[in-house]
Amino acid sequence: MTNLTLWVLVFPLLGFILLGLFGKAMPRQAILTIAWGASGLALFFATIGFLSMMKTTPDAARISDQVIYSWVNSGTVATGVLSNNVPLNISFGLLLDPLSATMLMIVTGVGFLIHIYSAGYMEDDPGFWRFFAYMNFFIFAMALLVSADNFLFLLVGWALVGLASFLLIGFWFTRRSAVAAARKALVINIIGDFGLLLAIFLIFQNYHTLNYLSNSAGNGVFNQVTQGGVAVGITTAICLLLFVGCAAKSAQLPLYMWLPDAMEGPTPVSALIHAATMVTAGVYLVARANPLFQVSPDALIVVAIVGGATALFSATIALTQLDIKRVLAYSTISQLGYMFMAEGAQNYTAGVFHLTTHAYFKALLFLGAGSVIHALGGEQDMRQMGGLRHRLKITYWTFLIAALAISGIIPLAGFWSKDEIVGSLFARALNGGGTLFYVLWGVALLTAALTAFYMFRLVFGIFFGSYRGSGPRAHGHDDEELFEEEEHRGGHGGFYAIYESPSIMTVPLIILAVLSVIGGLVGSYALFGRPAVYPFGHFLAPLFTNNAWTNITVPEMPLSLGMSWISAGASLGLAGLGILVAWLRYRRGFEYKASRNPLYLLSFNKYYIDELCIAVIIKPLKWLGRTANSLLEGGVLDGGSRGIAWVASGVSSGLRRLQTGYMRNYALAILFGVVLLLIYYAVMRG
Amino acid sequence: MYNGIPVSWYLVVSAILFTLGVIGVLVRRNPLTIFMSIELMLNAVNLSLITFSTYLNSVDGQMFVFLVLTVAAAEVVVGLAIIVSIFRTRRNINVDEMNILRG
Amino acid sequence: MTASVPTLIEFFVLAVASVASGLGVILFKNAVHSALSLILTLLFLALFYLQLGAMFIAVVQILIYAGAIMVLFLFVVTMLASEDTGDVDVPDRRPWQRGIAIVLGFVLIGALSYLLISGASIDGAARTAGTNGLAENVASRGNAQTFGLALFHGFAFPFEVTSLLIIVALLGAMVLGRRSRAGGEHE
């Protein structure tokens, strides 16, 4: 099996370096060649790896841990905290196994499509070269994250994607809101990094290695995890700390606040980073560390609860938002909650499966929204839209497909993955999960209804009804032609000045729509009475069962046919209900009525969480900073040094008076000294 | 020639003269008078040197005095020249007026 | 041996006289009077030297110190005195200095006296007897000859250096004393 993962990393990195150094002076064609070339080559090598893996038949052989560079090789570690001298060996290696191959395909595939799309979306932007440099950097960082074979380089990739996110959210850095959003994202992500770092320390302390699996560089963590090996309390702590990192990166409660604000960045960024790839790093990490989670049941429960709470919470916020990108952002948070719910129910495959299908339709939703925004010249408020399905046909159809997929309508991809999740919650509840998982199952179903409702509220609001806006915003020299056309055609303001996006943007939409339709084919066929047919499941299964990866087998909790139909039917029915309600309310288009309903206000204002954070955290911290500044910096440090200067100048001005200039005074001083000496001798000798 | 008077007596006289010279330096403002006080100090030391020469029965003390005498002469010459030249520029030789070097 | 009475009387008379004229040096307001007082003091000190047996030095003192140096002093004093110098008219800017000086003066005398009386005594064996001893030389050759022998035998080098010093002082005085054309001399 060929492990060419290194090249998946190298080309985007090269692209970033070239574009970063020289991009400003390059013509557009050159920039695109390098950017598309880099991400295209990354996709190419990822595909080769994936295909070669498919051809490797015994499942246990689908692992290639290539150690590329041995970085730290210190023989013995000084004893202290660690008993037995434990060598510290850290190497840079790349792991190619089903999970990392899946993630790489998603990252490079969706990444490549979005690179193509961005060429159209960002065409007028003066920072064109910078955008593609950062995008290539992101591809590199994310690929590093998912293909690293040890926790340290996972952390490196983790931090680098945080950096890429910061750079891209704050891409239009002249806007204060964008800079604030980028900073918010970075700060919250660093909280997660901190948790991850602590987890890594604990891992090293207890397992004496940072590699995932045993390879030429040393032992692996997951090969050492056994039931009752390391104390449960410690593994729970490790898992919870890992989950802190995941919660920050994947925008779960209570570290989700950065994601809606991250919509300040360009829409392709939202699509790639905050829908399809970066936010899924948390889900990836939990799946990767499943042996650790399996021996800490409490951690799994926490994961499930947080996932469920987040899913429901953000779905309720999405019900009332007016900015189309915000609706999608909260939708992303909600769907990530689903993935964590599944992983909490010990069905990691379901979580990863939903990750892949979600990548398709969420990227599609964002790109479609971007297409709408682009056609309207920058408008993002749903109140200024309506009836656009007549003007933006391709965008409309692909968006509709994605909305159906995310609502979980059969036979689109979203149905299969969401059904897997809901079914796994039900199965876990039936298999000893207790009331908790019944409750979570109910939460999942309710959220499915809400999801369908707010998605179709969005669809109807944008594409149905009559156009409420005033035409595309001014756009340079195109204005004269637009005005002439309007006058010529008459009609509704600038409605007929709205044109479908160029094909460079619509082709990726179509591709993603196709994926959203057929993506479910690799799912489980249990509903059709063939539970054994589950291509994706079989593909990932070795990670959870095979000795090469883990000593802890993740239990399979199959549902009987009846039960699975109950679960599927419930979610399907509720989704349909949600769509129906949305249709009844909004089919004539979206009319915004400010409501005084307290529930509405809670949802609309995002439960006032941001205000709460500002009051409880930010204001005290700022006060602390200011006080410390005036006290310590001003008082102690500045005051100290000024005080020393004051003392010195005081002493010197005092001593200066000795220099009277009068010779007689000097003579007196000399005499005084002599007398002192004599007295001393007199006393001494006497 | 040792004549029976305890050596400390001579030395006390020398000390008294020396102190008188010191006080003169400190109290007087006319630089010439200060100079004279310095000469008084020198002579007081000469006295103690001669005393020791006699009482230690060695000619070195007298030799020392001879040299001190010579040096004192040279010093007086140069010092007075300085005072005279100060006087030429300032028309006044009160030492209290000469305080340009004050800090 | 204890001193004979005439010697004691000599000593006390000379002591009182020299201290009195020393006081005169520092107390007279008029600089000329101070100079004359200093001449007196030098004279009495010369008598002291005679009493101690340093005849040559005594004579040299009178000739050089009182005769040459003080004359020089008097020249300058009288030359500058005509221009209304110093103490008479200008009020003292540091009146407290006098008080401190006197106090310190007493302390100094007290300390010195204490040290000298309690500490200073010449060991009898320090007096070297023999042909190299001063007293013996003086007795045989006379003080001047003894002095001359010591000067040109043992102290020849300092003698030469001193002559150099005198030349330098002479030159310095000539340079300092010259009237410059533009501006005055600066200190």
Predicted ipTM of the assembly: 0.89
Provide the 8-state DSSP code for C63: I
- pLDDT category, C62, cuts 50, 70, 90? very high
Residues of B with CB under 8 A from a CB of A: 22, 25-27, 29, 95-96, 98-103
Cβ–Cβ below 8 Å for A668 and C118 = no
- Find the largest Cα–Cα distance for chain C: 68
Q: Is the pLDDT of residue A678 over 90?
A: no
* pLDDT of A357: 92
Q: How far apart are CA B80 and CA C173, in angstroms?
A: 8
pLDDT grade, residue C134 (50/70/90)?
confident
CA A468, A470, A473: angle at the middle one, nearest 5? 130
Separation between Cα atoms, residue C65 and residue B73, nearest integer Å: 8
Q: What is the pTM of this model?
A: 0.68
Residue C71 has pLDDT above 90, yes or no: yes
Residue A111 pLDDT: 92
Chain B / chain C CB contacts < 8 angstroms: 279
Tell me the average pLDDT of chain A: 85
- Indicate if the pLDDT at residue A483 is higher than 50: no
pLDDT of residue B43: 95
pLDDT reading at A179 higher than 90: yes
Q: How far is CA C98 from CA A114, A326, C31, C147, in A?
A: 98, 92, 18, 42
Burial label, A76 (beta-carbon count in 10 A; 0-12, 13-18, 19+): exposed
Which one has a higher pLDDT value, A247 or A86?
A: A247
Q: Do B26 and A662 touch (CB under 8 A)?
A: no
Smallest CA–CA distance, residue C111 to chain A, in Å, is 6
Let me know if domain C1-85 sits in CATH 3.30.460.10.
no
Structural contact between residues A455 and A418, judged by C-beta atoms closer than 8 angstroms: no
Q: Who among B26, B99, B101 is closest to A667 (CB)?
A: B26
> At A315, is the pLDDT very low, low, confident or very high (cuts 50, 70, 90)?
very high
Neighbours of A643 (CB within 10 A): 12
Residue C15 or residue C81, greater confidence: C15
pLDDT value, residue A164: 93
Asked if A472 contacts A494 with a C-beta cutoff of 8 angstroms, the reply is yes
* Joined tokens for residue A305: 């609860």
Residue A476: per-residue pLDDT: 40
CA A362 to the chain's CA centroid = 13
Tokens 């809901």: give the residue: A422
Write down the pLDDT at residue A132. Answer: 93
Q: How far apart are CA A122 and CA A130, in angstroms?
A: 11
What was the pLDDT predicted at A621? Answer: 87
Among B29, B68, B26, residue whose Cα is nearest residue B47: B68
Nearest to A428, CA basis, from A338, A345, A304? A345
Chain B interface, mutation test: which of C55, C64, C76, most B Cβ atoms within 10 Å? C76
The CA angle C69-C75-C77, to the nearest 5 degrees, is 100
Q: How far apart (Å, rounded) are the C-alpha atoms in residues A555 and A345?
A: 10
CATH number for the B7-97 domain, one of 1.10.287.3510, 3.40.50.2300, 3.40.50.300, 3.40.50.150? 1.10.287.3510
Per residue, what are the HEC states of A539-601? Answer: HHCHHHHCCCCCCCCCCCCCCCHHHHHHHHHHHHHHHHHHHHHHHHHHCCCCCCCCCCCHHHH
CA-based end-to-end distance of chain A: 102
Contact A148, A154 (CB under 8 A): yes
Amino acid at position A296, single letter: S
**pLDDT at res. B60:** 85
* C-beta of residue A272 within 8 angstroms of C-beta of residue A109: no
Does A162 or A631 have the greater pLDDT score?
A162
Tell me which of A158 and C93 has the higher pLDDT. A158
Please determine, for residue B71, whether its predicted confidence score (pLDDT) is greater than 90. Answer: yes
The verdict on a CB contact (< 8 Å) between A685 and C107 is: no
* pLDDT tens digit sequence for A620-672: 888 888 888 888 877 777 788 888 888 999 998 888 877 777 777 788 888 88
Lowest mean pLDDT among A164-168, A556-560, C129-133: C129-133
Nearest to A209 by CA among A87, A94, A95: A87
φ/ψ of A498, rounded to 5, equals -90, 125
Mutate to test the interface with C, among B2, B3, B25 (most CBs of C within 10 A): B3
Identify which of A662, A671, A682 has the shortest CB distance to residue C114.
A682
pLDDT tens column, B21-33? 999 888 888 888 9
Q: Among A125-134, A661-670, C168-177, name the one with the lowest average pLDDT.
A: A661-670
Measured between alpha carbons, how far is A223 from A226 in angstroms, rounded to an integer?
8
Residue of B nearest to C28 (CA): B33
Report residue C63's pLDDT band, with 50, 70 and 90 as the boundaries: very high
Distance from CA of B16 to the nearest CA of A (A): 14
Q: Which of residues 37-56 of C touch B (CB under 8 A)?
A: 38, 41-42, 45, 48-49, 51-54, 56
Q: What is the pLDDT of residues C74-131, one digit of tens each?
A: 998 888 765 554 455 566 666 777 788 888 888 888 878 777 777 756 665 555 555 5
Residue spans of alpha helices (H) in chain C = 5-27, 31-52, 55-60, 70-81, 95-119, 134-141, 143-153, 156-177
**C-alpha torsion angle, residues A128, A134, A139, A140 (rounded to 10):** 130
pLDDT at C54 exceeding the cut of 90: no
Helices A413-428 and A393-407 pack at an angle, to 10 degrees, of 10
pLDDT at residue A80 greater than cutoff 70:
no
Report pLDDT for A683. Answer: 81
Q: Which two tokens stand for residue A184?
A: 């918010």
Find residue A637's DSSP bridge partners: none
Residue A572 in this model has a pLDDT that exceeds 50:
yes
C155's tokens: 């102290």
- Reduced to 3 states (helix: H, G, I; strand: E, B; else coil), residue A225 is coil
* pLDDT at res. A658: 74
- How far apart (Å, rounded) are the C-alpha atoms in residues A219 and A196? 20
Nearest to B102 among A661, A664, A668 (CB): A661
**Which of A472, A525, A465 is closest to A497 using CA atoms?**
A472
pLDDT > 50? residue A490:
no
Tell me what pLDDT residue A488 has: 43
* B67 — pLDDT class (breaks 50, 70, 90): very high
Look at residue A475 and tell me whether its pLDDT is greater than 60: no
Residue keyed to tokens 């509903």: A527
Distance CA(A484)–CA(A346), nearest Å, equals 62
Q: Which backbone phi and psi does A18 adopt, to 5 degrees?
A: -65, -45
What the block records as the tokens of A248 is: 């920050």
Alpha-carbon distance A64 to A95, whole Å? Answer: 6
The answer on pLDDT for A134 being more than 50 is: yes
* Amino acid occupying residue A389: R
Element (H, E) at A609: helix A609-613
Is the pLDDT at A492 greater than 80, yes or no? Answer: no
pLDDT above 70: residue C186: no
| Interval A156-178 mean pLDDT | 92
Share of chain A above pLDDT 90, in %: 33
Q: Does A479 score more than 70 pLDDT?
A: no
> How far is the C-alpha of C7 from the C-alpha of A401, rounded, in Å?
139
The shortest CB-CB distance from B26 to any of A659, A660, A671 is to A671
- The residue-averaged pLDDT of A293-311 equals 91
**Inter-CA distances, A467 with A186, A385, A475, A484, Å:** 38, 6, 20, 20
As given in the structure block, the two tokens for residue A26 are 């390059």
Boundaries of every domain in chain C:
1-85, 133-176
The verdict on a CB contact (< 8 Å) between A661 and B22 is no
- The string of pLDDT tens digits covering residues A19-55 is 999 888 888 888 899 999 999 999 999 999 888 888 8
Phi-psi region of A553 (alpha: psi -120 to 50; beta: other; left: phi over 0): beta
A to B CB pairs, distance under 8 Å: 33
The Cα A344–Cα A303 span in angstroms is 5
pLDDT band at residue A155 using 50, 70 and 90 as cut-offs: very high
Query: Is A107 a residue whose pLDDT tops 70?
Result: yes
The three-state secondary structure class of A82 is: coil
Asked if A256 and A333 touch (Cβ cutoff 8 Å), the reply is yes
Instruction: Indicate if the pLDDT at residue C184 is higher than 60.
Output: no
| Tens-place pLDDT, residues A586-597 | 877 667 776 777
**Any bridge partners for residue A96, and if so which?**
A64
- The nearest CA of chain C is from the CA of A636 a distance in Å of 43
pLDDT at B57 (0 to 100): 80
Output the pLDDT for position C40.
95
Asked if the bond preceding A266 is cis, omega within 30° of 0, the reply is no
Give me the mean pLDDT over the B45-54 stretch: 91
User: Given pLDDT bands bounded at 50, 70 and 90, which one contains residue A532?
Assistant: confident
Cα C183 from chain centroid? 37
Q: Nearest by CB to A661, which of B22, B29, B101?
A: B101
Range with lowest mean pLDDT among A121-125, A218-222, A507-511, A575-579: A218-222
Distance (Å, whole) CA A645 – CA A666: 28
